[in-house]
Chain A
Amino acid sequence: MKKSWKYWVSSMQENDNKQRCGGEKLKRVYVNEKWCLGCHLCEYYCAFASSNEKDMARALKDIRISPRIRIEEMDGISFAVSCRHCSEPLCVKGCITGAMTKKDGVITIKKDKCIGCYTCILCCPYGAVSPSEDGAIQKCELCIKTNSGVPKCVEGCPNGAIVFEERGE
């Protein structure tokens, strides 16, 4: 079990490399499992980022959060998973209504077009797309809709395990 888990991590990184070779240059969220503490703070900062509230306690008090980044953990290994913004995104290809588009390297969702068929959820090899409370799907959009600059998960990671950077080919 342990072996297969590590294999999964390395294959994900390999896949990342392949995606980068697509020729696009874009700042992405990268996670280094070596420094991930499994503290889950990224999930809470993510949920706060999409809440449109000024105060985190007000935004997240007594609710069950559904963040766009999620910690996977097992056998002492943990890491955060969010949308890879693939060069050839299966979710965009699979979307039957054109609700998902890729613009300037960022895969975004138009909520009013989404009919909640969840094809994208089934397509995504990373499990980075999830249903949301309003019926449409939700995924990491690098905080471009909610705030400028650095995504909240990156800003809030206490150990520098999540970084937002452009990596060379």
Chain B
Amino acid sequence: MAVDYIYPDYEIIRDYDRCIACRVCERQCANEAHEYLSDSKKMIADNAKCVNCHRCVSLCPTRALKIVKSDHTFKENANWTGKSIKEIYKQAGSGGVLLSSMGNPENYPVYFDKILLNASQVTNPSIDPLREPMETRVFLGAKPDRIERDEKGRLKKNLPPHIMLSMPIMFSAMSYGSISYNAHESLARAAAHLGILYNTGEGGLHEDLYKYGKHTIVQVASGRFGVHTTYLNSGAAIEIKMGQGAKPGIGGHLPGAKIVGDISKTRMIPEGSDAISPAPHHDIYSIEDLKQLVYSLKEATGYTKPVIVKIAAVHNVSAIASGIARSGADIIAIDGFRGGTGAAPTRIRDHVGLPIELALASVDKRLRDEGVRNNVSLVVGGSIRSSADVVKAVALGADCVYIGTAALIALGCHLCRSCQTGKCNWGIATQREDLVKRLNPNLGYKRLINLLTAWQHEIKEMMGGMGINSIESLKGNRLMLRGVGLNEKELEILGIKHAGE
């Protein structure tokens, strides 16, 4: 019979000359990888329990720890990699679907890294953002096609509801339940301070956070958890979640173990019951059905809030977006295949969806070609890693971007991709009280503010370099982009020229 022993992927290396056996590693590891031997007064570690989250490494006061990739190996094989073999062992042992979390880590092209930005030289002056005004403010919502005037020639105020953001960045949907209360509070406070929005995700809104309503997008997803009139009216915008980039076509499942206390109350489901979000919305099978939900939500909120429809980037995304642009939705959010998640089947996460760059470019083009681009604003997410990605996304046609993973990294996430275990050592993707308190929102919200303030500075610098002083002039300005190492088809879809052209 086969023996299921898989050598650990990572090894904990301890410098015994530096270890003072203070036991902070032991106390801080929720996976119990470290142990103190009281007879020999020595720390030891069990590599098999390590998820490589760096909590112990970061807190070790004498810098005695590091985590290295194991050099233990199978016989080299370009086809049957160690990863494939190990996954087969796991499934042969368990009979279960493989689960993972956070974004797709596989080696697919990252188009943002193959796009370069322009800058001004000689003939068109660049602008110094430290000396001259520079506008990063954006407004999201449907734009009227024409200016209308009444019989006296005064402007008719026919502008549909909009949201105003100080910069083209929002925090994407992460539910209370999938992330901790402290993580949610950090996001809410940072959004309020920065003049942007954060998103509740499908978990309802904790009653303490209603005060940040003006900076909140309230989400309505297929499970309808925590949705009621007060909830809908408390936010600045409402998002209908049709799909998620990390797991297109798949619903969600928050295990009953995480449905405790306030989470059960906020989601409006009994404690200990699994929160299962169906894969589809059972009342939406067409654009017409979607339109009904869009208008139900608008009716419920007196037509005062824009409605966002969020979809995952899939193969025919531009046709779907074209339908959504006609459904009465004010904003379309598209989530690329590198978007994060608290848990997803590995095969779905790693093999389904589209790169957001291609999805964005094709949706923007399709909507413009059909003359419906002004019906909606476009928000894109799915691995926006830096301000350069933001600028490139805006130049490809986005009105705004969603950041999720980047925000969590700012809060301490080390991308160990073990969220599904519920034992997040950084107090983010966990509901264990002793772990949740490790994320102090008083420190967390400042880190988010720092991150986005820095990005805003960088965006201004890059815009200034291109001789652009308003983010609106950058939007869809693909002449500011050039591709490197891309083939004709890729350039055609992205709508950009090759570098040197």
Contact with A along B432-463 (1 / 0, CB 8 A): 01100110101100000000000000000000
Q: Interface of chain A, helix or strand or loop or mixed?
A: loop
| B61 proximal to A (CB < 8 A) | yes
- A37, A41, A57, A159: the one contacting B18 at CB < 8 Å is A57
CB distance from A38 to the nearest CB of B (A): 7
Cβ A40 vs Cβ B437 within 8 A:
no
CB distance from A54 to the nearest CB of B (A): 12
CB distance from A80 to the nearest CB of B (A): 14
Q: Which of chain B's residues has its CB closest to A59's CB?
A: B20
Cβ A39 vs Cβ B437 within 8 A:
no
Which of chain B's residues 48-79 have a Cβ closer than 8 Å to chain A? 58-59, 61-62, 64
Given contacts A45-B61, A57-B62, A57-B64, contact A37 B437 (CB under 8 A): yes
Cβ B20 vs Cβ A56 within 8 A:
yes
List, in ascending order, chain A residues with CB within 8 A of B434's CB.
37, 76
CB distance from B271 to the nearest CB of A (A): 20
| B23 proximal to A (CB < 8 A) | yes
List, in ascending order, chain B residues with CB within 8 A of A145's CB.
none
Given contacts A40-B27, A56-B20, 17 further A-B contacts (CB under 8 A): A34-B437, A37-B28, A37-B434, A37-B437, A39-B59, A44-B20, A44-B22, A48-B61, A56-B62, A57-B17, A60-B22, A76-B434, A158-B59, A159-B437, A159-B440, A160-B440, A161-B440
Q: How far is the CA of A37 from the CA of B435 in the complex (A)?
A: 9
List, in ascending order, chain A residues with CB within 8 A of B438's CB.
37, 159
List, in ascending order, chain A residues with CB within 8 A of B64's CB.
57
Contact with B along A62-73 (1 / 0, CB 8 A): 100000000000
Cβ B20 vs Cβ A39 within 8 A:
no
Q: How far is the CA of A93 from the CA of B18 in the complex (A)?
A: 43
Cβ A40 vs Cβ B440 within 8 A:
no
List, in ascending order, chain B residues with CB within 8 A of A34's CB.
437
Contact with A along B355-375 (1 / 0, CB 8 A): 000000000000000000000
Cβ A39 vs Cβ B443 within 8 A:
no
| B6 proximal to A (CB < 8 A) | no
Interface size class of A (residues with CB under 8 A): 20 to 34
- A48, A156, A159: the one contacting B443 at CB < 8 Å is A159
Cβ A35 vs Cβ B437 within 8 A:
yes
List, in ascending order, chain A residues with CB within 8 A of B20's CB.
44, 56-57, 60-62
Q: Which of chain B's residues has its CB closest to A159's CB?
A: B440
CB distance from A146 to the nearest CB of B (A): 16
| B319 proximal to A (CB < 8 A) | no
Q: How far is the CA of A55 from the CA of B73 in the complex (A)?
A: 37
- A35, A76, A156, A160: the one contacting B61 at CB < 8 Å is A156
| B24 proximal to A (CB < 8 A) | yes
CB distance from B270 to the nearest CB of A (A): 25
CB distance from B449 to the nearest CB of A (A): 15
Which of chain A's residues 137-169 have a Cβ closer than 8 Å to chain B? 156, 158-161
Which of chain A's residues 9-66 have a Cβ closer than 8 Å to chain B? 34-35, 37-41, 44-45, 48, 56-57, 60-62
List, in ascending order, chain A residues with CB within 8 A of B58's CB.
158
Q: Which of chain A's residues has its CB closest to B439's CB?
A: A159
Cβ B61 vs Cβ A56 within 8 A:
yes
Q: How far is the CA of A56 from the CA of B64 in the complex (A)?
A: 11
CB distance from A46 to the nearest CB of B (A): 11
Closest 3 CB pairs of A and B: A57-B18, A57-B62, A60-B20
- B18, B19, B27, B59: the one contacting A38 at CB < 8 Å is B27
Q: How far is the CA of A57 from the CA of B433 in the complex (A)?
A: 32
List, in ascending order, chain B residues with CB within 8 A of A62's CB.
20, 41
CB distance from A163 to the nearest CB of B (A): 10
List, in ascending order, chain B residues with CB within 8 A of A37's CB.
27-28, 434, 437-438
CB distance from B413 to the nearest CB of A (A): 15
Q: Which of chain A's residues has its CB closest to B22's CB?
A: A44
Which of chain A's residues 50-109 have a Cβ closer than 8 Å to chain B? 56-57, 60-62, 76
Q: How far is the CA of A159 from the CA of B436 in the complex (A)?
A: 11
List, in ascending order, chain B residues with CB within 8 A of A56's CB.
20, 61-62
List, in ascending order, chain A residues with CB within 8 A of B27's CB.
37-40
Q: How far is the CA of A127 from the CA of B17 in the complex (A)?
A: 34
List, in ascending order, chain B residues with CB within 8 A of A158's CB.
58-59
CB distance from A67 to the nearest CB of B (A): 11
Q: How far is the CA of A51 from the CA of B59 in the complex (A)?
A: 20
Q: Which of chain B's residues has its CB closest to A60's CB?
A: B20
Cβ B59 vs Cβ A76 within 8 A:
no
11 contacts between A and B (CB under 8 A): A38-B27, A39-B28, A39-B59, A40-B22, A44-B61, A56-B62, A57-B62, A61-B18, A62-B41, A76-B434, A156-B61
- A41, A159, A160: the one contacting B22 at CB < 8 Å is A41
CB distance from B48 to the nearest CB of A (A): 24
